[in-house]
Each structure stands twice: as C-alpha cells, then as structure tokens.
Amino acid sequence: MSQAAAKSGKLTVFKTDRHEDFGAICFAVLVAASVMIYMAFFLDKVTIKAPADGKLVEMKVAMGDTIKEGQPLYTYETVKKKFVEGKLEESKATETFKSKTPGKVLELKKKPGDAFKKGNGLLVVEHVKGTLP
Amino acid sequence: MENKGAAGGLLGIVPGLALMVGTFLFANWAEEALKPVDFLGYKQFFSRVLNLNYIIISIVMGVLYRNVIFRGTIPAFLADGFRTTRLFIKTGVIMLGSIYTLGGLAKLGFQAAFLISVFVFGSVVLVMWLGKRLNMDRSLIGVMCAACGVCGVSAAVATSPGVKAKPAEVALAIATILGFGVLTMFISPYLGNLFHFSDYQYGVWVGTGILNSGQVLAACLAFNPLVAPGTAVAYGELWNVMRVIIIPFVVFVITVWYWSGNKDDVEAQNVSLWQILKSKFPIFVLGFVGMTVLSSLGLLGQEGSETSHLLRTLMQWIFGIGMVGLGAYIDFGEIKAAGGKPLIVGLTAGTIKYVLALIMVLTIIPKSAPF
C-alpha cells in the first residue's frame, strides 16, 4: 500500500470495493460500447489485418470487387503448432480467410508470394455502415 | 471519490494516471526498441533470453518508481492516480469475458471450480494448522488464511472485519503474500518455458498456484502477452475468476472458525453466509459473465474480425496501465518489515501451493485445451 492509501486504509479511489466493482463494469461497458459504435457507424474503410505470420498464396478478390460476409478473401500459408502426445509439432498449413463483413475492395496491400507478419494490413475494404467489420 | 466531490476526485487522479499511461507507452516503445538488440553474445538478448515484454517492463518501472525514485512512498499528488490500479485490472478482466463463449466457460469452468476449491480450502486448512503450531493470534491466522487461500489483497481485506483483525495485521498479511507473489510472478514465465508448458497448462498452473489476482494476470501476460482465446491469460484468468467467486465462502468459513474459538463474541456469531454473500460477492464477476453472454450471442463482432482485434488491443492497454500500478504497490520495505511468523506461514503455504499446482499440471493437465 502507498502511504496515502495506508493512511486512509483504502486501495481504491472509490468509497468502497463495491463502488469500484460498479465503476469497473461501467468503464468496461463504456469501452465496449464505444468500440461497437465506432466500428459500426464511424468507420469509412476497414484494413483487414493478417491473423498470423505467413505467406500469401492467393488473393481471391480483385480491386473494385463487391464482397459478401463469409466470402473467401485470400489463402495463406502459415506454420501451425499442435501438441501431439505431449510434444509440440510444427507443420505448414494453408488457410483461407473469409470476410467478416460485406463491402467493396478498395486496395490490395500484398500480392501472392509476399510474406507478412501477424497484424500487417493485407487489404482495404469499404465499410458498410451498421455492420461490425 | 472521497470528500472532494466528483470533479475534485477526478482531478486528483489525473497526475498519477498520466504517469501510469506514460509509463505504459514507454514500455511499449522500449519493448520494440530492445527487440533487435544482441547482448553478451546472445541474439535478441532482451526479448528471447530475458523474455522482456511491455508487461514486465511496466511492472519493473512501477517497482522502480515506488522503491527507488520515490524511496518507498508514492507522493500524495500521485497516490490517487495509482489507486486506480485495481479499477483497470477489474475492467480488463470484465472485458476479458468477451474472449470466452458460454460453452467454453461451462466446459472449463467446472474443472476450474473443482481444482480451485481443493487448493483454496487446502491452503486455508494448512495455514490454520501452521498458525496454531506457531501460536499466532487467531485474527492474524484468519487474514493469513484468506490471503494465502484465495487471492491476497481483496480476500484479506474482506475477511478482516469478521476476524476483528487490526489494520497492521491486514497490512502484514498483504505484504507477506505480495512478497512471495513478486517472486512467483517473475520466475513463473521462465519455469513455464523450461517445462515447455502450453498456454493452457501454464494458465492452469499460474491460476492455481499464484496467490494474488494481479500477479496471476502479470505472470500470464509475461508468458504470452497476447489477449485472445487459447492464450495463457484466457486460461489463467478463468481460474482466477473462479477463485474470486469463492471469496465470500472462504470469508464465511474463516469467520465461523474464528468465532468458534471466541464464544463470547456475539456480533461475530450472528454472521450468516447470506449476509456475507450479500456484502462480499465480487459483483464485477457478473460483468465478466455479461461480456461472455454478449460474445456468445455474437454482439461483440465475429472471432477474428477487426472489431475483436480492436477490443483486444484496448484490453492490452487497460491491463498494461494496471500493471504499472501493480508494480508501484510492491514495497520492498513493507515486505522486509513483514518478517517473523507471518513470513514463515506465508512462504510455507505459498510454496506448497505453487509446487503442488506445478506437480498437478505436470501429471494430469494435458497440453491441449478445449478451446
């Protein structure tokens, strides 16, 4: 405990622990609601980021294409880690990433053969207002 | 906020909070800057050998503030800001509910509840036995039971009125278990890598064996700084939430044990489980469950979507800021002053719990998890 906290006998800025719990619930709801509202109504375009380190095998859409939710966007090669009989085994796998949102493809940031890191932007899609990308 | 009005209270937290946020940003920058650095002949020494990430840097900076720069006392103008630490950690835990589904929670929840109950009540009985052998005061044994059994600070504070503990005894119990927790927090990621634990095994071990909620979180994020389903923090925190839910039941058991040895204490004898549940139930856990319900209904964006990425990035921010404060609560002076019998009891109970949890994971917990 800091000296000030020790003096007041409190570890929180709230009146009681219960107030702190309510404060934390309000804070979490505020953050989650802000994210939902921003993503649904204020975002113009979405940069779709790589879910893992890998290499682009095939881009299944072209610039200007209109895409639907669930439509395959690209396939990529990645290293999968799996425990088999207690040992970590690594194997190459090809995965297909499907769109989580409808929209129009505005930009392709990588081409087949390009390597990428998790979180790198791969393509930019126009955002349809009211949907969660 | 106390006695200053809402505006005064909010203003009071600004300086300390600004320092915590600034430190967290610095820790992020330092992690990236140190990543490529080779040192002592090792490639990427800081990231690969020392496993240094923004979480560990944030905690170490907090420890430095408290113990070196401020010499043991956080200045009054920063204190209120640092006292928002638990708010950040609780908020992060509530948001963490969004990475689970009700099915996953039910699957792992029963296993977690069973293992946690065995370890929590086992520790309580062990501390009662040790305390009796060392002739400690019943009130001090009571808070030590809660601190070692459940999760340090909140449980010790929740139990203290029921066992008529003096503030000094509560501080002693907290300092003892935090001292042990500091050790486990820093060595667990290295032991986890040494035993080649999967994220699931590591989360189960740390969630069962480490005494304090914040330290469980820190140890999980230090092992794997990602917040997502299937990561150490997802499993460790599920175990931790189960432990937090148990707090009122442990408080009840300890209070009943305390008045069974103080038959003349009428006030304590009138305490019922329902009263304790009403006053001590950690309701932020309901927020965690609420987030899991929203996520199960698909209202927080699909798994793998940009919405879920943004939510998780914000969770990492919230946890990271909380970790600076957590480091600043580690006072080496207090830990040193807590010596004597509580230290023996705390170290013995803590070590037994930590090692038994390790043995349990090595023997019965599989590498892969249900989600």
B51-79 pLDDT tens trace: 778 888 888 899 899 999 998 888 999 99
| pLDDT for the residue numbered B188 | 92
CA A133 to each of CA A36, A130, B12, B365: distance values in angstroms, whole numbers, following the listed order: 10, 9, 38, 37
Cβ separation of A1 and B306 shorter than 8 Å?
no
CA A125 to each of CA A60, A102, A106: distance values in angstroms, whole numbers, following the listed order: 14, 9, 5
- Is the CB of A42 inside 8 Å of chain B's CB atoms? no
Cβ separation of A100 and B368 shorter than 8 Å?
no
pLDDT band at A3 (very low <50, low <70, confident <90, very high): very low
- Find the closest chain A residue to B4 by CA distance: A13
**Which residues on chain A are in Cβ contact (under 8 Å) with B284?**
20-21, 24-25
Q: Rounded CA gap, A5 and A12, in Å?
A: 8
**Which residues on chain B are in Cβ contact (under 8 Å) with A81?**
none
Tens of pLDDT, residue by residue over B207-266, are 988 877 778 888 998 888 888 888 898 899 888 888 888 888 888 888 888 877 766 655
Calculate mean pLDDT across residues B5-26. 89
| pLDDT for the residue numbered B24 | 95
B residues 92..121 contacting A (CB < 8 A): 93-95, 98
* pLDDT over 90, % of chain B: 17
Lowest mean pLDDT among B115-119, B194-198, B257-261, B346-350: B257-261
A33 Cβ partners below 8 Å, 6+ apart?
Answer: none
- Hey, of A1, A69, A85, A124, which one would you mutate to test binding to chain B, going by the most B CBs within 10 A of its CB? A1
pLDDT at B178 over 80: no
- Find the closest chain A residue to B369 by CA distance: A83
| pLDDT for the residue numbered B103 | 82
State the nearest Cα–Cα gap between A54 and chain B, in angstroms. 16
Residue type, A74: Y
- Is the CB of B169 inside 8 Å of chain A's CB atoms? no
State the nearest Cα–Cα gap between A101 and chain B, in angstroms. 8
pLDDT band at B159 (very low <50, low <70, confident <90, very high): confident
**Which residues on chain B are in Cβ contact (under 8 Å) with A46?**
306
pLDDT band at B359 (very low <50, low <70, confident <90, very high): very high
Size of interface A-B (CB pairs under 8 A): 143
pLDDT at B186 over 70: yes
Cβ separation of A2 and B66 shorter than 8 Å?
yes
Tokens found for residue B218 = 């820190």
Q: What is the mean pLDDT of chain A?
A: 84
pLDDT band at B304 (very low <50, low <70, confident <90, very high): confident
| pLDDT for the residue numbered A84 | 54
Cβ separation of A21 and B283 shorter than 8 Å?
yes
Could you tell me the pTM of the whole model?
Answer: 0.80
pLDDT band at B49 (very low <50, low <70, confident <90, very high): low
- Hey, of B305, B319, B324, which one would you mutate to test binding to chain A, going by the most A CBs within 10 A of its CB? B305
Are residues B218 and B59 in contact, defined by beta-carbon separation less than 8 angstroms? yes
| pLDDT for the residue numbered A5 | 45
- Is the CB of B304 inside 8 Å of chain A's CB atoms? yes
Is residue A20 helix, strand or coil?
helix
State the nearest Cα–Cα gap between A46 and chain B, in angstroms. 8
When comparing pLDDT for B240 and B160, which is higher? B240
- Is the CB of B157 inside 8 Å of chain A's CB atoms? yes
| pLDDT for the residue numbered B279 | 77
State the nearest Cα–Cα gap between B77 and chain A, in angstroms. 10
